[in-house]
Structure 1
Amino acid sequence: MTHYQTENWWTSPFNEEYRQTLALPEHVQIHDATLRDGEQTPGVVFTPEDKLKIARILANMGVERIEAGMPAVSEADKEAIKSIVKDNLPAKIFTFARAMVKDIEMATECGAHGVVIEVPIGKPKLLYQFGWTWEDVAKKTKEAVKASKDAGLYTVLFPYDTTRADWEDLKNLLGSVCDYCAPDSVGVVDTTGCILPGAMFQLVRRVKNLTGLSVEVHTHNDFGMALANSLAAVEGGADVIHTCLNSLGERTGNTSLFQVLMALKVMFNMDYGTDFGAFKKIADEISAMCNVPLAGNEPIIGDRIFTRESGIGIEMLREKPLAMFSLNPEFVGNEPQIVLGKKSGVKSVEVNLEKLGIKATEDQMRNILAEVKDFGIKNRRLLTDEEFKAIASKELQ
């Protein structure tokens, strides 16, 4: 078997040829922001106990950097960060900060290993929200970056709304800050999820060539391109991806940790020692914790992603699932489901009868199928197990 074809997945062979043309980083770190950006999902509130539990989950998944929160938000947030640091997880703990020396001092007080310093650079932000020039931003940024470096913190400069910046503004800001006191890395931040993957690739390269620093990518999913943009950034040289569990985050959410880990493993052959079979259980636990239900078709972790109503090829779901899916359901702790409705076939009926321990003739199954289709059309939905059982029992009397 090749990398694109294993017992757990079968992806496009064209990926292999394309991957050979890439100069990928030797290693890509995962920086998860569930405890900060994820909690910015409207209505989501994590208790300090929740945060410690989530941090442990993230560390066990192979996440190397955990953004534990923003201590300036509240005393409770600060104490939650301290408790995570004290837990001595096998991950570096970061805080989120404004470009203020007092925020850097709070990060140090919490015992954080690093800090993400946010400053605006997107043109709409500068024009409408702040009324600032890049010079104003640079002036506010320099002392914060220097304070962070002097404190021994790993320092990430996070010029948010990067993808809507004027290039000259971005170039001047990064040049000015780096000349004064260079951070350890620079974030390329797609705050409103509006850049094309090819443009992300180019922008990351430009920032990397300009600064000579490590580049991190932080993407949102407003146009459904969060994962694609994160991978394009890696192809362009980014060596850190920011994620959130369950695609949490403002509006359409941040890049999904589950999707990133799966894509890096399957598409780029990067291994984090992750237990992919635990993904579904973790996703359900986080969903219950934050009271945000998962979409049935959420990639990797959705309840319905291995569900089939159409009768075509239905027997393959159990015999050869990779004939129907690029991922083996068992690999991600899931299983294929054969549901009944308008688009079902005789084989679908046969499989569901077997689940009930019922045998029927070919003619009986066709009669049951007709009833199933009629029910699905009239009610415009799938049948429940009980509804199917009632139809089958009536026909087999």
Structure 2
Amino acid sequence: MAHLTKIKLLDSTLREGEQSSGVCFSLEEKIEIAKHLESFGVDIIEVGHPGISQLEEEVCKKVCEQIKNMETLVHARACKTEILSAHNTGANWVGIWASFNPISLETKFTNKSKEWVKEQVLSSILFAKELGLKVRFTIEDASRTSFEIIEEIAQITNQAGVDRLSLADTVGAWNPQKCYQMVKFAVKNFNCEIEVHLHNDFGLALANAHSAIEAGASIIDVSVLGIGERAGICDLFQMSASLAYFYDDVSFNFKETKYLKDIVARISTFIPEPHRPIVGKNAFIHSSKYHAKANSKNYKAYEFLSPELFGYERKLLPQEYVRESKLRFSNEFKVGNPFVKSAAELKYHRHGVGDRWVHIDSRVDERSPVYIIERLFHEDYVGSYEPHVDTHAHNCDSIFVFMGNNVDGSGLNVKVTLGNETKIIKSPASVFIPAELTHNYEYISGTGRFLNFVMSPSYNKSLL
């Protein structure tokens, strides 16, 4: 399904993404994400809201300075001080917004009339244009705003020469039919490009985006992993992939997918659900025996999206079903029984010094989402051992903890390799190991204990 107009993607990870609970990017993180979004091939990057403070203005300015090959946009409320702040960042665009429906006038513009808000919007847009900025005007909460009010706003923005209008489904209230109707109305009444900002409260952001495109919208707001306020917005990877497959858009560098997913997931502590399209850990795994067999002959049997395009690999992992008597949803107070087990049960491990305990995994308690082992070094084995852990990596995060037998936790010496870096470590010490990063450890000397926390109920199944 081709489309005559190039559909542009505005990435709002750096702005909308920070409205996701607990997310705040450092300047260095913003720059790193922005550079890779640029490489990915989005058309515009929404950098932030400089009018919040002098610090935010400086952050936005420094990010804008690093983006060389695409346009940048910063937010501003409909007032001259924030327009000036936006201009100071060097961004190409300012995104001015306001809302006009009754609930907005009641809660955001107390004691102000709709006419007052319209005057503020008009003067702000004209001021931004005087400063040489391109202007996107956003009707906040457009999905709960009447067609009559939208038509009134069209008169203002057309008069002021707005470059782009954004319709924001601020509370995720649209379905595809209503979204289509509003966008079609806007295309008819506004003398500019139409953009949509779609929240995902019903899980309809992607569907609404395609409905908006069919109605004539030419810019879709997205974010990495769809992060944003509440249930987030349209997912960058899902939106761009659907444009590639359904609209023959070949402009995206999908090899950036995995890196962008990894860094934003790490920073935001957002772990994509296993079945999330494209980036979920199960997205390209075929577990049904019947499906795996067919795909071994021709992967198209049960696959439309190609994992290689996004830097992933398909896996054929036919599974056996063992239906045991379990209640893994139970909140029962259960005391597990740790057990001593040889390291030989683990891939990449061999027998070695010290006793190894399995404290918790799916065998100790079938509800456990983690695997915790402990190795006890009762005596100093210096000079009398061979390394017993080969380099390996997990599909999840893990943690090493080293504690010596001395009162202050000292007394144990080990060597840890993480990626291409090796360090000699003296206890007490902890090492965080990011998912997919190769690692190993090696006992050197001393007495104490080593704890390994793997964020998976099964050690071997977590291995890459």
- TM-score range with shorter-chain normalisation? 0.7 to 0.9
> Structure 1 residues 88 and 248 mapped into 2: Cα distance closer, same or farther (>3 Å)?
closer
User: Within the alignment, does 1:125 sit opposite 2:104 as a pair?
Assistant: yes
Question: Among 172, 183, 195, which residue is 2:152 paired with?
Answer: 172
How far off its partner does 1:160 sit?
Answer: 0.8
Number of aligned positions between the proteins: 335
| 2-structure distance, mates of 1:119, 1:33 | 18
Question: Among 141, 150, 162, which residue is 1:161 paired with?
Answer: 141
Kindly indicate whether the alpha-carbon contact (under 8 Å) linking 1:32 and 1:63 is maintained by their aligned counterparts in 2.
yes
Structure 2, unaligned runs of 5 or more: 324-346, 348-361, 370-455
Q: State the Cα deviation string for residues 156-198 of structure 1 (Å, max 9, x = none).
A: 010111011021122112213433x121111111111111112
| 2-structure distance, mates of 1:332, 1:225 | 23
In our comparison, the structure showing a higher alpha carbon Rg is 2
How far off its partner does 1:283 sit?
Answer: 0.4
| 2-structure distance, mates of 1:90, 1:133 | 42
2:83 alignment counterpart: 104
> Structure 1 residues 379 and 308 mapped into 2: Cα distance closer, same or farther (>3 Å)?
farther
Kindly indicate whether the alpha-carbon contact (under 8 Å) linking 2:158 and 2:191 is maintained by their aligned counterparts in 1.
no
Q: State the Cα deviation string for residues 285-332 of structure 1 (Å, max 9, x = none).
A: 211122222221211111111223332222234432221122122222
| 2-structure distance, mates of 1:252, 1:319 | 39
2:262 alignment counterpart: 284
User: Within the alignment, does 1:220 sit opposite 2:199 as a pair?
Assistant: yes
Aligned to 1:93, what secondary structure does the other structure show? Answer: strand
2:168 alignment counterpart: 189
Aligned to 1:312, what secondary structure does the other structure show? Answer: helix
Off by >6 Å, runs of 4+ in structure 1: 380-383
How far off its partner does 1:228 sit?
Answer: 1.0
Aligned to 1:315, what secondary structure does the other structure show? Answer: helix
Kindly indicate whether the alpha-carbon contact (under 8 Å) linking 1:25 and 1:239 is maintained by their aligned counterparts in 2.
no
> Structure 1 residues 317 and 278 mapped into 2: Cα distance closer, same or farther (>3 Å)?
farther
| 2-structure distance, mates of 1:184, 1:387 | 53
How far off its partner does 1:282 sit?
Answer: 2.0
Residue type at the aligned position of 1:184:
D
Q: TM-score, normalised by structure 1?
A: 0.78
| 1-structure distance, mates of 2:104, 2:320 | 50
How far off its partner does 1:127 sit?
Answer: 3.9
| 1-structure distance, mates of 2:103, 2:133 | 31
| 2-structure distance, mates of 1:305, 1:155 | 39
| 2-structure distance, mates of 1:235, 1:92 | 25
Residue type at the aligned position of 1:321:
Y
Question: Among 268, 276, 294, which residue is 2:247 paired with?
Answer: 268
How far off its partner does 1:201 sit?
Answer: 1.5
Aligned to 1:72, what secondary structure does the other structure show? Answer: helix
Kindly indicate whether the alpha-carbon contact (under 8 Å) linking 1:137 and 1:173 is maintained by their aligned counterparts in 2.
no
User: Within the alignment, does 1:249 sit opposite 2:228 as a pair?
Assistant: yes
Task: Output aligned runs, 1:1-397, within 5 Å.
Answer: 16=1, 24-131=3-110, 132-179=112-159, 181-272=160-251, 274-337=252-315, 338=317, 340-342=319-321, 379=366, 384=458, 386=460
| 2-structure distance, mates of 1:187, 1:81 | 21
**Relative to total residues, which structure has the larger helix share, 1 or 2?**
1
How far off its partner does 1:246 sit?
Answer: 1.2
How far off its partner does 1:40 sit?
Answer: 0.9
**Relative to total residues, which structure has the larger strand share, 1 or 2?**
2
| 2-structure distance, mates of 1:133, 1:231 | 35
Identity of aligned residues (%): 27
> Structure 1 residues 61 and 332 mapped into 2: Cα distance closer, same or farther (>3 Å)?
same
Report 1 or 2 for greater relative contact order, CA contacts < 8 Å, sequence distance ≥ 6.
1
Residue type at the aligned position of 1:158:
T
Q: TM-score, normalised by structure 2?
A: 0.67
- Tell me how large the CA RMSD over aligned residues is: 2.5
| 1-structure distance, mates of 2:25, 2:56 | 10
| 1-structure distance, mates of 2:195, 2:322 | 45
Aligned to 1:314, what secondary structure does the other structure show? Answer: helix
How far off its partner does 1:28 sit?
Answer: 1.5
| 2-structure distance, mates of 1:76, 1:244 | 23
Aligned to 1:228, what secondary structure does the other structure show? Answer: helix
Aligned to 1:255, what secondary structure does the other structure show? Answer: coil
How far off its partner does 1:88 sit?
Answer: 4.3
> Structure 1 residues 107 and 386 mapped into 2: Cα distance closer, same or farther (>3 Å)?
closer
Residue type at the aligned position of 1:190:
D
How far off its partner does 1:151 sit?
Answer: 1.0
| 1-structure distance, mates of 2:277, 2:71 | 28
> Structure 1 residues 292 and 88 mapped into 2: Cα distance closer, same or farther (>3 Å)?
closer
